[in-house]
Amino acid sequence: MTDDILQRIETKLDLLLKTQKNKPSDKRYLTARDVEQVTGLDHRTILNRSNLDPDDPRFIPSIRLGSRRKYFERKVIERLFHLK
């Protein structure tokens, strides 16, 4: 690849990373996709782990708020993944 192409790719990657880092992160409740962005785990894995028995060490607690979507409380996710 030429240096010009590499430079354009690097610029685009930098832009994507900055966008990802600047997302608002002060919501109390997160969707599985939000948790994926915070932890790096696939959102389907998050949802599957929320369906495990609470005694299972892989269990990730979730909450339902009105609709059928599952939400995860930010402070619980941060505690589980030692993010703070």
Please check whether residue 7 lies inside any domain of the structure. no
CATH at residue 64 = 1.10.10
Half-sphere exposure of 50 (CA within 13 A, CB side): 21
Across 59-80, average pLDDT: 89
Residue 42 has pLDDT above 80, yes or no: yes
pTM over 0.95: no
Q: Which domain holds residue 40?
A: 27-84
| CB-based contact 83:38 (threshold 8 Å) | yes
